[in-house]
Structure 1
Amino acid sequence: MEVFQIQRQFRELGIVEGKPKNVQYLQDLMLRTQAAFIGDNYNKIEIFYTQIPPYRASLQKLRSKKWYIKARGIREIYQMDQEQYIKEILKERNNKNIFVRREAQIAMVVFLGWESLRFLPYLKWEMTLWQQIQIVEKLWDLYPQPDLKRLRKSYTSEKKYANELIMRIIRKFGLREEIDYIIRFLDDPNFDTRESAVYCISSFEPGEEQLRAIKSKLFNIPNTEQQRQLVKYISSLPVDVDLTFYSELLHRGNDVIKLSAAEVLWNKGYVKEVQDFYYRQYSYQPTPEFSLFNDV
């Protein structure tokens, strides 16, 4: 179908600039149905979308001063693969409104894929957990082949949200060769960064050297619950029980960590070791002046 035929058909259906509700209804309909089309039919939908009056309707929304219209315009653009507007969208990646910059950052991933990671150091606002998850899922859906070269270039970023996003990408794509990056943040001063590291490392089986590094970092973690989670993860690994490590937990940890270490040893058959430890720790040793066996 030729472009002029599309435009004439729209006019006959009442899809004209003077009837914005009709225009928006058609846009919403196309956005909801475009995922069901592939091949030539998908390309036709894209052509139809570009001819909805007023022409470049989504671009006009993108240029609106109202944040909710601007955000909607960006979403429509990336949902309908209108890649020609990427330069306009890049200008909004640091918009002061969280919804606008969120949509702009998702659009960057949709259009640029792994290359979009190069913008991480230049983002001025924190990236929420929800936003990180959305970006990871878009990469997974649209660009399932990891680009390690571009990923590793992003490792130099010092932004905490960037560190957390990269760890989530490593986890989602199962990049075992990159888990040293996750281990690096297990004892980070920032709580959320440590939380991401503990969560992400739990999806991997580390090598011998990496496991030693994880055990070492556990003692530097200032949060008991995160320490406990890491003890649980280490105990789940298919390796021999490290009695030296668990003994150190029993003697250096607080009551929660001592209990976690004791539980691991007990469940793995080291009952006597646990009993001996608690006997030494809590058995009552009377002082001479209060001994019942003092000479009368």
Structure 2
Amino acid sequence: MRFPLIENIIWTLVVVLIVAVIVLIIYLKILRRNIRVVESRSQKYTNYIEGLLIEYLHLDQSSENFLKTQKNIISEFKKGVKNRRKRRIITNTFLKLSQQVSGNVIDIMHNLYEEIGLIYFAKQKIKSKKWNIIALGIRDLRQFEVKKFAPIIKKFVNHKKEEVRREAHLYFLELFEFEGLQFLDTLELPLSEWDQIELLIEIEKFDNQHLLDVKKWLKSENDFVILFILNIVKIFNRLETKELLLELLHHENLDIRLKTIEVVTYFEITEAKEILVEKFESLTIKEQKALFEFLEKVATKNDSLFVLEHIKDSDFEIKSKALTILKKHDTELYNKLDKSSEDESYNRIIEYLDYSYGF
């Protein structure tokens, strides 16, 4: 039994699919060709702009054609800036070249950046409603060291998008160095661990002699600011903050207390020992471990009785450090200890210490 109608439909679909495939193949070929053409044109224009910029930066001011050549080059840049695609190429070329030059040449590039109008488009970016465009605008102003927009950039310090906040923070640090830390006064949102790493990398480039007084930020209501400043205190050896560090040992935030113990351990601030020993029972296990790391550096024979109380602590790390400290600072008391116990871990530690230090 034959079904002519169904056969006709099937053959019609086959023909339509074949035509669609042919059209799609042709379209893809045209698209690939157009992409290659655009890429070729972009590369040619990039080469042209690079050559133009290099020529501008190396103009001989003593030449009689200096002003005319300078004017013509600026005119070419201004013409290209009006086109979005060309403007992107010009901006990227400026950014790439600015990372390869230094000194007076940088200043010339920054002045040219403003003169040809790129600064106008950077300003337009930071007015955008799209967060990624705002971030790009701040990045451009940061990399071309445009300081006059600081009052505008300040409002992005607490932007809802972390990427925008990060660019704003870097803007203030890179352009104003330690003075740029003033953005912390208005910071309300968290500083992620990655943000802190990036900012600390930037801060480490600065001259330590011009470091601001950081004490006020150790009293900040923003816990993330305190944690960040504690890193700065440690990196730049700000021992004048000692009294505030001792106060922070009582802070309600555990992370701040732990970071403070890390800092006082680094500085070997012995006054912290009495505070931590007195409140030992109320400390978390993390703080107790941190205290014994601190004691490994600052303990004396006077601490023997306290340490003795913890040689059979339920935590292996505390027990190990307590026995080590006792062995190091009070050999007489250590030698009176039982060398054998029902606690196998205690026995192993004793055996290891006797072997390492000599019985």
TM above 0.5, yes or no, is: yes
Q: Which stretch of structure 1 is more off in the superposition, 54-63 or 13-22?
A: 13-22
Give the counterpart letter for 2:135 in structure 1: A
Distance in 1 (CA, whole Å) between partners of 2:286 and 2:123 is 48
For the pair shown, the structure with the greater C-alpha radius of gyration is 2
Q: CA deviation at 1:147?
A: 3.9
Q: Which stretch of structure 1 is more off in the superposition, 9-18 or 46-55?
A: 9-18
Give the counterpart letter for 1:51 in structure 2: E
Distance in 2 (CA, whole Å) between partners of 1:78 and 1:3 is 29
Distance 1:35 1:214, change over 3 A: farther
Asked if structure 2 preserves the Cα contact closer than 8 Å seen for 1:265 and 1:271, the reply is no
Asked if structure 1 preserves the Cα contact closer than 8 Å seen for 2:249 and 2:257, the reply is yes
| Aligned counterpart, 2:327 | 266
Asked if structure 2 preserves the Cα contact closer than 8 Å seen for 1:185 and 1:197, the reply is yes
1:190 aligns with 2:250: no
Alpha-carbon deviations, 1:70-101, whole Å to 9, x = none? Answer: 11111221222100111110111111111112
Asked if structure 1 preserves the Cα contact closer than 8 Å seen for 2:77 and 2:116, the reply is no
Distance in 2 (CA, whole Å) between partners of 1:270 and 1:3 is 84
1:58 aligns with 2:118: no
Q: Identity of aligned pairs, percent?
A: 22
Distance in 2 (CA, whole Å) between partners of 1:4 and 1:159 is 56
SS of equivalent to 1:141? coil
Q: CA deviation at 1:235?
A: 0.6
Alpha-carbon deviations, 1:240-274, whole Å to 9, x = none? Answer: 343133124347x5433233312332356738627
Distance in 2 (CA, whole Å) between partners of 1:33 and 1:266 is 61
Distance 1:71 1:12, change over 3 A: same
Give the counterpart letter for 2:123 in structure 1: L
Asked if structure 1 preserves the Cα contact closer than 8 Å seen for 2:81 and 2:90, the reply is no
1:209 aligned residue (227, 247, 271) = 271
| Aligned counterpart, 1:293 | none
Asked if structure 2 preserves the Cα contact closer than 8 Å seen for 1:187 and 1:220, the reply is no
Asked if structure 2 preserves the Cα contact closer than 8 Å seen for 1:16 and 1:53, the reply is no
Give the counterpart letter for 1:180 in structure 2: E
Give the counterpart letter for 1:156 in structure 2: K
Aligned residue pairs, count: 278
Q: Which runs of 5+ in 1 are unaligned?
A: 283-296
Alpha-carbon deviations, 1:160-187, whole Å to 9, x = none? Answer: 1111111111011111222333343345
| Aligned counterpart, 1:140 | 204
Distance 1:269 1:211, change over 3 A: closer
Q: Which runs of 5+ in 2 are unaligned?
A: 1-58, 60-65, 344-359
Asked if structure 2 preserves the Cα contact closer than 8 Å seen for 1:62 and 1:69, the reply is yes
Give the TM-score normalised by the residue count of structure 2: 0.65
Distance in 2 (CA, whole Å) between partners of 1:7 and 1:91 is 37
Q: Higher RCO, 1 or 2 (CA under 8 Å, sep at least 6)? A: 1
Q: CA deviation at 1:65?
A: 1.3
Give the counterpart letter for 1:270 in structure 2: T
Q: CA deviation at 1:131?
A: 1.7
1:153 aligns with 2:216: yes
Distance 1:105 1:54, change over 3 A: closer
Distance in 2 (CA, whole Å) between partners of 1:204 and 1:274 is 31
Give the counterpart letter for 2:194 in structure 1: W
